[in-house]
């Protein structure tokens, strides 16, 4: 019996498959066309002059006006919310959007550094024109028209926010992304868990599984519309693969014991996971094309939570081979593991930043959880946030923000327990909750446009 019914799988496929090339055609989902009068090949003048570190100290004042009544107002609200959520922008209202060249003298007097102009029209099919201007120079930075079905208006807003982020800060945004997670309902010790997906801001929640079986640790394929996850379906804990594009689903590999903790390789062609063997667990690589399995650890300990480096050459993982759970790093082909963590307590849940510069982790010391980052050589360990339980870190595509699960303590009968998803900047700056309609855990950030 499939985890997701065939009818529901097709519905999910229609709703959630979104690997479309912008600018291809309206039939592909969304079309982006440069506005020639304001940009060349979609880009205006020069490189960004403001760094992320500068924006943390002095957020960029930007005016996001209303792009029109109804839909235009909704799109403006999402753009403003996206930018405001970073803590790097000071979003200012501006009434109705100007249709021509802005009054830069008046905008300078308001203290603005950038302004958006444009319009939004349509219902069944919508067209949104957006122009981004540098107020100090009076020059256009971007001019693009987006056309899509009315159902995709939120995605247009996220894409526009990504454009603004990139043009102002010089690196890719992360707003046109999703987070897979585990939706949790019911009493503390008898929770129903369902595989779910939402936009990175908590909108457009979709439940993928029925909750009949315990489900954990979803992971996005970085190059395909696929999710790997663990399920106790039919009381056989295994890793499964679900294709969001076709609706197909299958168990990933046949192991004698339990398989768990999946993560995709950077090229999307393999999954690295753990499988129990006797009293311990080893790490295996499963090729998605052939189904071939390859064992890469055999320490006799519990080796788990493997994660590839962005270039695919190394794997960081958790192991108790030294007596307590700690972080280790090894070649992606296995062998020669080197210990990374030496701080107080035990370490787990390592995940490599897409930038390659940091490894996030969970640390438990003195009965308390911490979420932190360190360099791939084990130096520079920093704690970002603490709590009763903070775990399951996952990086956004540009590596600047981490989403994670935060849980509270429970009293008698589970009273007072809460499980939710939050996000925090890699400097420990601007922590905030991501609202969901149910309890939530195990977040996994998608790639950009994923």
Domain ranges of the chain: 35-169, 178-445
Dump the DSSP string for 334-365: ----EE---SSSEEEEEEE-TTSS-EEEEEEE
pLDDT at 82: 98
Q: Of 269, 270, 273, give the one whose Cα is nearest residue 284.
A: 273
Nearest to 303 by CA among 268, 269, 339, 270: 339
Whether residue 173 contacts residue 447, with contact meaning beta carbons closer than 8 Å, is answered with no
CA atoms within 13 A on the CB side of 67: 30
Q: What are phi and psi of 161, to 5 degrees?
A: -60, -40
CATH fold match for the domains 35-169 and 178-445:
no
pLDDT on residue 24? 37
Residue 142: exposed, middle, or buried by beta-carbon count in 10 A (0-12, 13-18, 19+)?
buried
Nearest to 374 by CA among 405, 349, 339, 341: 341
- pLDDT reported for residue 145: 95
CA dist list (Å): 308 to 131, 262, 264, 423, 430: 39, 11, 8, 22, 27
**CA distance linking residue 355 with residue 357, whole number of Å:** 6
Q: Which residues of 152-169 are buried (b: 16+ CB within 10 A; e: fewer)?
A: bbbbbbbbbbbbbbbbbb
pLDDT for 16: 62
To 10 degrees, what angle do helices 71-85 and 153-169 make? 40
Give which of 195, 243, 251, 268 is closest to 442, Cα–Cα.
Answer: 195
* Share in percent of the chain as helix, strand, coil (round to 5): 15, 40, 45
Mean pLDDT by 10 residues, the chain (450 residues): 62 57 47 69 56 95 94 96 97 80 94 95 91 95 93 94 97 96 91 95 94 95 94 91 86 91 97 93 96 95 98 98 97 95 96 98 95 98 96 98 94 80 96 97 91
71 phi/psi in degrees, rounded to 5: -60, -40
**Pairing outcome for strands 419-425 and 401-407:** antiparallel
Q: Report how far Cα 251 is from the mean position of its chain's Cα atoms.
A: 24
* CA dihedral sign, ordered 88, 172, 112, 52: positive
HSE (CB half, 13 Å, CA atoms) of 9? 17
Strand pairing partners for 34? 144
> CB of 382 within 8 A of CB of 428?
yes
CATH number for the domain running over 178-445: 2.120.10.30
Q: What is the DSSP letter of 177?
A: -
* pTM metric for this prediction: 0.92
Q: What pLDDT sits at residue 45?
A: 45
**C-alpha torsion sign, points 339, 340, 344, 347:** negative
Distance of CA 49 to the CA centre of its chain: 26
C-alpha–C-alpha distance, residues 135 and 148, integer Å: 29
d(CA 143, CA 158) in angstroms, rounded, equals 16
What pLDDT, on the 0 to 100 scale, is given for residue 5? 64
CATH classification number, 35-169, choose in 3.40.50.10070, 3.90.550.10, 3.30.450.20, 3.50.50.60? 3.40.50.10070
Angle of CA points 318, 239, 262, to nearest 5°:
35
59-75 burial, b at 16+ Cβ within 10 Å, e below that, comes to bbbbbbbbbbeebbebb
Biggest CA–CA distance in the chain, Å, is: 73
pLDDT at position 1 is 53
Tokens describing residue 122 = 């349509």
Helix (H, G, I), strand (E, B) or coil at 55: helix
User: Residue 414 carries which DSSP code?
Assistant: G
């Amino acid at each position: 019996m499939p985890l997701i019914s065939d009818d529901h799988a097709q519905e999910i496929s229609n709703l959630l498959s979104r690997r479309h090339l912008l600018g291809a055609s309206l039939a592909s989902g969304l079309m982006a066309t440069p506005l020639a009068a304001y940009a060349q090949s979609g880009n205006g003048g020069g490189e960004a002059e403001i760094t992320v570190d500068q924006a943390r100290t002095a957020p960029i004042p930007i005016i996001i006006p209303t792009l029109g009544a109804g839909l235009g107002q909704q799109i403006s609200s999402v753009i403003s919310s996206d930018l405001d959520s970073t803590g790097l922008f000071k979003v200012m209202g501006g009434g109705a959007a100007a249709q021509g060249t802005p009054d830069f003298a008046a905008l300078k007097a308001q203290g603005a550094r950038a302004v958006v102009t444009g319009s939004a029209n349509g219902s069944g099919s919508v067209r949104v024109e957006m122009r981004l201007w540098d107020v100090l120079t009076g020059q256009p930075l971007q001019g693009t028209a987006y056309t899509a079905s009315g159902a995709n208006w939120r995605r247009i807003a996220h894409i526009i926010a990504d454009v603004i982020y990139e043009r102002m800060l010089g690196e890719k945004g992360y707003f046109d992304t999703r987070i897979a997670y585990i939706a949790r309902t019911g009493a503390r010790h008898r929770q129903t868990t369902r595989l779910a997906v939402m936009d990175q801001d908590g909108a457009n929640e979709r439940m993928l599984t029925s909750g009949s079986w315990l489900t954990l640790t979803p992971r996005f394929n970085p190059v395909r519309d696929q999710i790997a996850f663990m399920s106790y379906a039919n009381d056989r804990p295994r890793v499964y693969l679900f294709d969001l594009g076709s609706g197909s689903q299958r168990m990933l590999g046949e192991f004698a014991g339990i398989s768990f903790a999946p993560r995709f390789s950077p090229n999307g062609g393999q999954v690295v996971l753990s499988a129990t063997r006797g009293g311990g667990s080893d790490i295996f690589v499963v090729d998605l094309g052939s189904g071939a399995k390859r064992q890469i650890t055999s320490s006799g300990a519990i080796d788990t939570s493997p994660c590839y480096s962005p270039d695919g050459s190394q794997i960081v993982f958790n192991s108790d081979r030294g007596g307590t759970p700690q972080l280790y790093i090894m070649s992606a082909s296995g062998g020669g593991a080197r210990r990374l963590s030496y701080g107080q307590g035990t370490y787990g849940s390592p995940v490599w930043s897409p930038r390659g510069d940091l490894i996030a982790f969970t640390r438990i010391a003195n009965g308390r959880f911490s979420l932190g980052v360190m360099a791939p050589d084990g130096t520079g360990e920093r704690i970002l946030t603490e709590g009763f339980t903070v775990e399951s870190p996952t990086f956004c595509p540009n590596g600047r923000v981490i989403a994670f699960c935060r849980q509270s303590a429970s009293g008698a009968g589970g009273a007072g327990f809460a499980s939710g998803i939050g996000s925090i900047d890699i400097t420990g700056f601007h922590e905030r909750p991501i609202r969901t309609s149910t309890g939530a855990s195990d977040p996994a950030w998608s790639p950009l446009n994923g």
